[in-house]
């Protein structure tokens, strides 16, 4: 789970709970932290599950890992424990199946499902699993992501663009790029959620551009045109968005941002004690010339790559 400034996180695990009490413990916690549900576990050793919940001031994030199990939100739960949210579950590991009034939806690793917890459903996992669940308040969700009613569950991540957006959202939620404020994380989530559902913002395009650059740093053929194409807009438009963002430290053009993120990746590897030669590290980060890399590195960080390596903790 991502570390967020000014955000509280609670964690629970069934590990230290007697096996006969784990289901009740899990159900009671979720009724308070997320939504009322019924849980069934089929493994001989019972339910083994962990959950971390972060409250971003309305929006909530839950990271859940466990063994094979099924959760069910029955009509009785819907009546007794109503919800005024929309849920977005991203499957990080494993495979899932979702039953609802309209049928059955398989959801694989790297895919996501958008659904309404005000309607009954069953969500099952056939083996070891990990998912990240977003609890999105209905009113801002309608304003920022989907003005019309969510009448049926929506599977996301089946197209190239959707999959890139889901991967970026997962990375943001799991904190693959360090700690940020709760407000900034919430804004990134809304931007990416809107882009997934057809309402992209400038912030979503920039987040997706950064994600594409990071995923292709080792490709020395990476060009601004490739990055722009991945975000679904023109190179000129993306350059305008980067310039308007005002984040000159990361570069206000696509070409500058590619170079900056490559240099930062190289410095991270040097400071982490990567034993390879500086030339190999430079090549692995997309630089075809070591002297050119060294000049850019000096200009960016005020030290040589060798000095950066010597400065490692």
**Strands 96-100 and 121-125: what pairing?**
antiparallel
Under-70 pLDDT residues of the chain: 1-6, 176-179, 199-200, 247-251, 312-313
Domain-embedded: residue 162: no
Q: Give the domain extent around 149.
A: 4-157
Quick one: 137 and 234 in the same domain? no
Q: What is the mean pLDDT of the chain?
A: 89
Which class for 237: exposed (0-12), middle (13-18), buried (19 or more C-beta within 10 A)? middle
Q: What is the DSSP letter of 260?
A: H
Is 100 inside any structural domain? yes
What pLDDT score does 45 carry?
86
Query: How many residues does the structure list for the chain?
Result: 313
Are 299 and 234 part of one and the same domain?
yes
- 211 with 111, same domain: the answer is no
Rg (CA), the chain: 22
Element (H, E) at 64: strand 60-66
Instruction: Check residue 46 and give its pLDDT.
Output: 92
Same domain (yes/no): 38, 103: yes
Interior/surface letters 215-234, b for 16+ CB within 10 angstroms, e for the rest: ebbeeeebebebbbebbbbe
What does DSSP say about strands 60-66 and 129-137: parallel, antiparallel, or unpaired? Answer: antiparallel
pLDDT for res 199: 67
In a domain, 142, yes or no: yes
Does residue 228 share a domain with residue 97? no
**Residue 291 and residue 212 in one domain:** yes
Q: Which of 120, 135, 157 is the last residue of a domain?
A: 157
The verdict on residue 256 lying in a domain is yes
End-to-end CA distance of the chain: 25
The burial class, CB within 10 Å (0-12 / 13-18 / 19+), for 86 is buried
| Continuous segment of H or E residues that includes residue 196 | helix 182-196
Are 112 and 234 within one domain?
A: no
The domain boundary, picked from 139, 157, 175, lies at 157
pLDDT at 53: 94
pLDDT for 25: 97
Same domain (yes/no): 231, 149? no
> How many domains would you assign to the chain?
2
On whether both 22 and 130 belong to a single domain, the answer is yes
Tokens encoding 46: 């019972």
Residue 251: what pLDDT?
66
| Alpha-carbon span 216 to 141, nearest angstrom | 32
What's the CATH code of the domain at 35? 2.60.120.10
**pLDDT by residue (tens digit) across 234-247?**
899 999 988 887 76
Same domain, 146 and 221: no
Domain limit, last residue, from 157, 180, 196: 157
pLDDT of residue 313: 61
45 occurs within a structural domain: yes
* 100 Cα distance to chain centroid: 25
Q: What global pTM score does this model have?
A: 0.74
Long-range contact set of residues 171-175: C-beta below 8 Å, sequence gap at least 24: 171/211, 172/2, 172/207, 173/1, 173/2, 173/61, 173/63, 173/90, 173/132, 173/134, 174/1, 174/2, 174/63, 174/92, 174/132, 175/1, 175/2, 175/3
Any domain includes 196: no
Asked whether residue 47 is domain-assigned, the answer is yes
Same domain, yes or no: 96 and 212: no
d(CA 245, CA 204): 12
Q: Is residue 189 part of a domain?
A: no
State the CATH number of the domain containing residue 259. 1.10.10.60
φ, ψ at 121 (rounded to 5°): -160, 165
Supply 223's token pair.
């060009």
Q: How far, in Å, CA of 238 to CA of 200, rounded?
A: 13
Q: Which among 152, 150, 148, 156 is positioned nearest to 102, based on CA atoms?
A: 152
Q: Looking at the structure, do residues 146 and 274 belong to the same domain, yes or no?
A: no
Residue 204 has what pLDDT? 76
């Amino acid at each position: 789970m991502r570390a967020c400034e000014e955000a509280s996180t609670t964690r629970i695990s069934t590990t230290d709970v007697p096996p006969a009490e784990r289901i009740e413990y899990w159900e009671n916690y979720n009724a308070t932290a997320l939504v009322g549900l019924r849980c069934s576990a089929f493994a001989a050793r019972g339910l083994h599950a962990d959950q971390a919940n972060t409250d971003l001031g309305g929006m909530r994030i839950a990271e859940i890992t466990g063994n094979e199990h099924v959760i069910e939100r029955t009509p009785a739960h819907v009546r007794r424990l109503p919800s005024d949210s929309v849920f977005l579950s991203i499957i990080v590991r494993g495979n899932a199946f979702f039953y609802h009034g309209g049928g059955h939806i398989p959801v694989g690793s790297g895919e996501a499902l958008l659904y309404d917890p005000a309607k009954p459903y069953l969500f099952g996992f056939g083996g070891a699993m990990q998912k990240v669940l977003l609890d999105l308040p209905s009113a801002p969700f309608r304003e920022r992501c989907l003005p019309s009613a969510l009448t049926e569950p929506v599977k996301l991540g089946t197209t190239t663009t959707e999959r890139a957006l889901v991967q970026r959202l997962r990375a943001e939620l799991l904190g693959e790029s360090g700690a940020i404020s709760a407000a900034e994380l919430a804004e990134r989530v809304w931007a990416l959620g809107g882009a997934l559902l057809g309402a992209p913002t400038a912030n979503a395009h920039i987040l997706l551009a950064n994600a594409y650059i990071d995923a292709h740093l080792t490709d020395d053929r990476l060009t601004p045109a490739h990055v722009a194409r991945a975000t679904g807009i023109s190179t000129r438009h993306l350059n305008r968005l980067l310039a308007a963002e005002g984040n000159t430290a990361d570069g206000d053009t696509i070409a500058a941002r590619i170079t900056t993120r490559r240099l930062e990746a190289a410095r991270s590897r040097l400071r982490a004690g990567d034993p390879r030669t500086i030339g190999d590290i430079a090549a692995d980060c997309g630089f075809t010339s070591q002297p050119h890399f060294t000049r850019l590195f000096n200009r960016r960080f005020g030290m040589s790559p060798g000095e950066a390596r010597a400065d490692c903790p």
